[in-house]
């Protein structure tokens, strides 16, 4: 199989972490063959020529180097990075978004050329999931649901999004422009239900920007599919945020749970709460949890998750975190921080320093923004544990968890 060039010097590597990552990767010789036939051109799984053990070592060393080379991180650099591997290094993703274009359907190219890779396989999802995506594509072609064209904005089918729970429930979402024929979408949905799919959504997005999010027009079959994680029940819709790698997410949540237990905190805050996954998992440990989230689809699902698990000690607040923290009479004992990739708003970080909870658990998908935010938190906090969760094998992504405690405790 042809070899893919290392990303050294390309535009992405301008970011400090990407540069370090590329350099660390360069020091490790390829020790296996890429398994996916689209490896050379696809933007999905860049690390396939490194064995899985080596991938985890590269991520760990890159994180260690970033910490060492970032000013103000000496307390973090003293901690051992505990790396938690994924039990499945392929077929681990429970959700995948496939773009549809007139050239074909699949993923964006990752070899510097424009356009997409028309996939004939995707090794990140289970076979049943991939088969259902192909079936959806075939039906949309047979029934002339024309692919959307980003160049002249003609056509209508933009994305096929698939979701599969551990018990095998499947949800498929067709994202189209509003010009799609309801009759055609309904025919596709009925055929998919007949094939055993549990839920089919029709979502609409007329924006000229490329985005797999859209407003729900209609659904067929079940409104939601059901997932379990660490013995709790979760309800998933087409847009619901839920970690894609079940086993590694369970390990990360368990680690935060252990820290809460150890801290003996009785009232906790979960900031950037998503669909309340963490409050559902931690609710039995504490008296109250205040969860804050600002995306309305997540808020609705969070309420249902709390109800499904008969949880009554979670106070769910739909608000921007920085705004929520401005309240005057707020008291904070322990807070979980799990912001999006860009990290936390500086105003929110400063307010946390004023509120001075005894402990913090910061889970992040971006090492760069994590260290920026820790730069502020380290004025009053010291790190006590540092873990890397390899949620995304074959790619350069991972999650980092830092547990913090107040310096004066």
Residues within the interface to ligand SAM (CB under 6 A): 241, 243, 272-274, 277-278, 292-295, 298, 320-321, 338-340
CB of 292 to ligand SAM, least distance (A): 6
Q: How far apart are CA 345 and CA 348, in angstroms?
A: 5
User: Is 243 annotated as contributing to ligand binding?
Assistant: yes
Q: Token pair of 405, please?
A: 């405690």
Question: Pseudo-torsion of CA 31, 37, 41, 47, nearest 10°?
Answer: -30
Nearer Cβ to ligand SAM (186/213): 213
Q: Token pair of 291, please?
A: 């969860």
Known catalytic residue at 365: yes
CB of 345 to ligand SAM, least distance (A): 7
Q: Measured between alpha carbons, how far is residue 368 from residues 45, 70, 123, 195, 360 in Å?
A: 21, 10, 28, 44, 18
User: Is 272 annotated as contributing to ligand binding?
Assistant: yes
Residue nearest to ligand SAM (CB): 274
Nearer Cβ to ligand SAM (339/367): 339
CB of 101 to ligand SAM, least distance (A): 28
CB of 229 to ligand SAM, least distance (A): 10
Residue among 44, 132, 138 at smallest CA distance from 100: 138
Q: Measured between alpha carbons, how far is residue 252 from residues 271, 398, 404 in Å?
A: 16, 11, 15
Contact indicator for 256, 361 with CB cutoff of 8 Å: yes
Nearer Cβ to ligand SAM (155/339): 339
Q: Token pair of 377, please?
A: 């938190």
User: Is 293 annotated as contributing to ligand binding?
Assistant: yes
**Chain-centre distance of CA 83, in angstroms?**
18
Kindly tell me the number of DSSP H helices and DSSP E strands found in the chain: 11, 17
Q: How far apart are CA 41 and CA 116, in angstroms?
A: 9
Q: Token pair of 322, please?
A: 């920085």
Contact indicator for 389, 370 with CB cutoff of 8 Å: no
Q: Token pair of 27, please?
A: 């020091």
Residue among 76, 69, 24 at smallest CA distance from 50: 24
CB of 87 to ligand SAM, least distance (A): 19
Residues 6 or more apart whose Cβ sits within 8 Å of residue 83: 56, 57, 59, 60, 387, 388, 390
Q: Which of 36, 42, 122, 365 is catalytic?
A: 365
CB of 274 to ligand SAM, least distance (A): 3
CB of 257 to ligand SAM, least distance (A): 12
Nearer Cβ to ligand SAM (116/321): 321
Q: Is the dihedral of CA 255, 258, 259, 260 positive or negative?
A: positive
Nearer Cβ to ligand SAM (7/271): 271
Angle between helices 16-26 and 52-69 (to 10 degrees): 130
Contact indicator for 213, 205 with CB cutoff of 8 Å: yes
Nearer Cβ to ligand SAM (174/322): 322
Nearer Cβ to ligand SAM (176/366): 366
User: Is 129 annotated as contributing to ligand binding?
Assistant: no
Q: Token pair of 35, please?
A: 């398994």
> For the chain, what's the residue count?
409
Residues annotated as catalytic (active site), given as ranges = 365
* Binding-site residue positions for S-adenosyl-L-methionine: 243, 272, 293, 338
* Binding-site residue positions: 243, 272, 293, 338
């Amino acid at each position: 199989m042809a070899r893919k060039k290392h990303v050294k010097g390309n535009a992405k590597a301008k970011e400090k972490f990407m540069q370090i990552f590329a350099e660390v990767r360069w020091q490790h010789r390829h020790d296996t063959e890429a398994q996916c036939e689209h490896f050379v051109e696809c933007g999905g799984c860049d690390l396939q020529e490194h064995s899985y053990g080596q991938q985890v070592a590269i991520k760990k060393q890159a994180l260690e180097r970033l910490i060492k080379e970032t000013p103000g991180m000496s307390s973090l650099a003293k901690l051992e990075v505990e790396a938690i591997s994924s039990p499945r290094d392929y077929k681990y993703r429970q959700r995948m978004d496939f773009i549809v274009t007139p050239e074909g359907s699949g993923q964006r190219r990752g070899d510097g050329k424009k356009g997409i890779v028309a996939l004939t396989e995707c090794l990140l999802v289970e076979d049943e999931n991939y088969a259902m995506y192909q079936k959806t594509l075939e039906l949309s072609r047979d029934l002339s649901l024309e692919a959307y064209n980003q160049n002249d904005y003609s056509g209508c089918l933009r994305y096929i999004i698939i979701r599969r729970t551990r018990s095998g429930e499947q949800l498929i979402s067709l994202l189209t422009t509003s010009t799609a024929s309801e009759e055609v979408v309904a025919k596709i949905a009925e055929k998919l239900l007949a094939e055993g799919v549990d839920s089919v959504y029709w979502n609409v997005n007329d924006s000229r920007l490329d985005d797999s999010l859209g407003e729900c027009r209609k659904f067929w079959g079940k409104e939601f599919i059901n997932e379990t994680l660490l013995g709790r029940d979760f309800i998933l819709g087409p847009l619901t945020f839920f970690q894609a790698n079940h086993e590694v997410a369970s390990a990360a949540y368990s680690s935060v749970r252990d820290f809460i237990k150890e801290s003996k905190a009785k009232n906790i805050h979960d900031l950037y709460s998503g669909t309340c996954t963490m409050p559902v998992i931690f609710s039995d440990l504490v008296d109250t949890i205040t969860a804050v989230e600002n995306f309305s689809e997540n808020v609705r699902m969070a309420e249902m998750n709390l109800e499904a698990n008969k949880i009554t000690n979670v106070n769910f607040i739909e608000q921007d975190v920085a705004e929520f923290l401005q309240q005057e009479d707020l008291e904070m004992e322990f807070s979980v921080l799990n912001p999006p990739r860009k990290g936390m708003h500086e105003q929110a970080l400063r307010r946390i320093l004023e509120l001075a909870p005894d402990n913090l658990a910061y889970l992040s998908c971006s090492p760069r923004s994590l260290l920026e935010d820790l730069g502020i938190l380290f004025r009053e906090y010291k790190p006590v544990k540092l873990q890397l969760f390899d949620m995304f094998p074959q790619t350069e992504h991972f999650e980092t968890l830092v547990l913090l405690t107040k310096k004066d405790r």
